Structure 1
Amino acid sequence: MATYAIGDIQGCFDEFMALLEKIRFSADDRLWIAGDLVNRGPKSLETLRFIKQLGDQCSCVLGNHDLHLLALYYGTSPVKRSDTLTPILEAEDRHELMDWLRRQKLLVLDKEQQVAMVHAGIPPCWTIRKARKYAKEVEQTLQSDQIHAFLGNMYGNQPDHWDSDLRGWERLRLITNYLTRMRFCSDQGRLDFSAKGPLSSQPAGYSPWFKLPRKDPQEQSIRILFGHWAALEGEAEAENVFALDTGCVWGNRLTALRLDDHQIFSVTAITNEPGNASA
């Protein structure tokens, strides 16, 4: 039995199947998927259906594209030109798929394996355990009758830094932005959304979130898995931090990390979808 962590699939279903074949994925194995299951790739519906039917064999977190899909379904966001989500929104089983999607977590923490998984990252102003607590606030809202109101208030870049006194939609929006959109931030946790490229695009006064000291040194042994940042090409260059998004939807690779021994498996993209790795 082995556990594999996979980065942003984004509807690249054929590559996903090829990767599972390469690792000889079986009923005894487990998958961890770091969000952005859908969008921009050609087969988001097939991807969503397959992951849903895996049941307890798979743990996944929500990415910004997954939340965007929910916003489209609940009518709180317009369709973007780059979206490839219409087949899901028109599928006969869309209600079941969206109910399953809104019940996924924003952060998974396995204390026994000493592994945490999130889509974008964990800000330096939080411990990992606090991050799990804050993620649960958003998860509970997504699973409640407040989901429509939350999705309608989810978008925006403010507030851009943490304050424990934050309340309401501003608090939930910032938690969501940290966990699903963050790349660069200050050592105090202030976010910058202007830079989306490689580490060389770092704005003055900001750093990649994973380069900043963790809030609790005792959590240094916890491995953090994340996706979202295709421009890193799978290289976080930080101890116990693993970048999983290797830009399959942009014509690069889809990658799996075996958690047992950190061996990496990849398949190349079958087609080069239009776009760029900074999106």
Structure 2
Amino acid sequence: MTDYAIGDIQGCYDRLLEVLAIIGFSPSRDRLWVAGDIINRGPSSLATLRYIERLQASAEVVLGNHDLHLLAVALGGHKTRGKDTLDDILQAPDHDRLIEWLRQQQLCVYDPDRNFLMAHAGLPHIWSVEQALGYAKELAGVIRGPEAAEYFTHMYGNEPARWRENLTGMDRWRAATNYFTRMRFIAADGTLELATKESAGESPAGYSPWFNFPRPDKIRVIFGHWAALEGNTPDDQFIGLDTGCVWGGALTVMNLDTGEKTHCDC
């Protein structure tokens, strides 16, 4: 069995099948770690979501901001936006099953044997691995539980911008969501800057890319979300797999044991 991790697919179903064919992926033998943003902006969100859902135990999935956006539309009363490609999912006959499956996915996954953690946006330096796993479990419980409608109704927003352990309720949930799924630039005290989406060299004053802060635990972090990086980070401890397929870049898959990356042009 081979484990692979894949970056943001965002509804690019044909490219997903192409890159999986290149590596000879077989669900009966292999496992696919999906770094979030399965759907949205690409042409085939429904087909992509159905494919990943059918993998069942052959997939490890973390939620990205676009995946949460679909849930917010379906469960929180929000409207789709101009560039969204979610209508095929929302109108599908298996819509309820797909939405429920998506709600069951995680915010981060951890493999202690390989010493890596995968989260859509990454792992802030202010959290240990144990803290991140705890906050992810807490937030997943909200998404799966009776407070989901409240959460998705009020999920959007940039405040509070800094994590504090004494945060409660919606402030706590929203802050954790932003670290797991929207983080790019961060200050030394953990304050997030969520407006800037440019490359790592375009840091706002007082902020740096989250992976520029050293981690004493040396955990390897696999993430997506930041297409402007084109997969480039200054240290192979931090592995960016969003190479901008939906924007005409590439879709990237990495063998988790060898580190070999395979791309298909988009």
For 1:263, the equivalent position in structure 2 comes to: 260
1:30 paired to 2:25: no
Cα displacement (A) at 1:162: 1.1
Percent identity, aligned pairs only, is 48
Cα displacement (A) at 1:146: 1.0
Alignment of 1:119-134 (within 5 A): 119-134=120-135
Instruction: Return 5+ residue gaps in structure 1 as ranges.
Output: 270-279
For 1:16, the equivalent position in structure 2 comes to: 16
Query: Hey, what's the Cα distance between the residues in 1 that align with 2:230 and 2:91?
Result: 34
Query: Hey, what's the Cα distance between the residues in 1 that align with 2:100 and 2:13?
Result: 21
Following TM superposition, the consecutive aligned residue runs of length 4 or more in structure 1 with deviations greater than 3 angstroms are none
- Tell me the TM-score normalised to structure 1 length: 0.93
Deviates more, 1:100-109 or 1:191-200: 191-200
1:226 paired to 2:227: no
Question: Secondary structure, in 3 states, of the residue corresponding to 1:38?
Answer: coil
Cα displacement (A) at 1:29: 1.0
Say whether the 8 Å CA contact 2:107–2:120 is kept in structure 1. Answer: yes
Cα displacement (A) at 1:58: 0.6
Cα displacement (A) at 1:105: 0.1
Aligned residue type for 1:95: D
Question: Secondary structure, in 3 states, of the residue corresponding to 2:263?
Answer: strand
Say whether the 8 Å CA contact 1:124–1:188 is kept in structure 2. Answer: no
Number of equivalences: 265
Deviates more, 1:197-206 or 1:83-92: 197-206
Instruction: Return 5+ residue gaps in structure 2 as ranges.
Output: none
- What CA deviation, in whole Å up to 9, does each residue of 1:183-220 have, x standing for no partner? 00011110001210111211111110011022xx1x21
Cα displacement (A) at 1:113: 2.1
- What CA deviation, in whole Å up to 9, does each residue of 1:21-53 have, x standing for no partner? 000001211110100000000001000101011
Question: Secondary structure, in 3 states, of the residue corresponding to 1:54?
Answer: helix
Q: Which of 239, 243, 247 is residue 240 of structure 2 equivalent to?
A: 243
- Tell me the TM-score normalised to structure 2 length: 0.98
For 2:117, the equivalent position in structure 1 comes to: 116
For 1:139, the equivalent position in structure 2 comes to: 140
1:202 paired to 2:199: no
Alignment of 1:160-199 (within 5 A): 160-199=161-200
- What CA deviation, in whole Å up to 9, does each residue of 1:56-114 have, x standing for no partner? 11101000000000011114211100000000000000000000000000000111221
Say whether the 8 Å CA contact 2:76–2:150 is kept in structure 1. Answer: no
Root-mean-square deviation over aligned CA pairs: 0.8
Aligned residue type for 1:243: G
For 1:40, the equivalent position in structure 2 comes to: 41
Question: Secondary structure, in 3 states, of the residue corresponding to 2:5?
Answer: strand
For 1:59, the equivalent position in structure 2 comes to: 60
For 1:83, the equivalent position in structure 2 comes to: 84
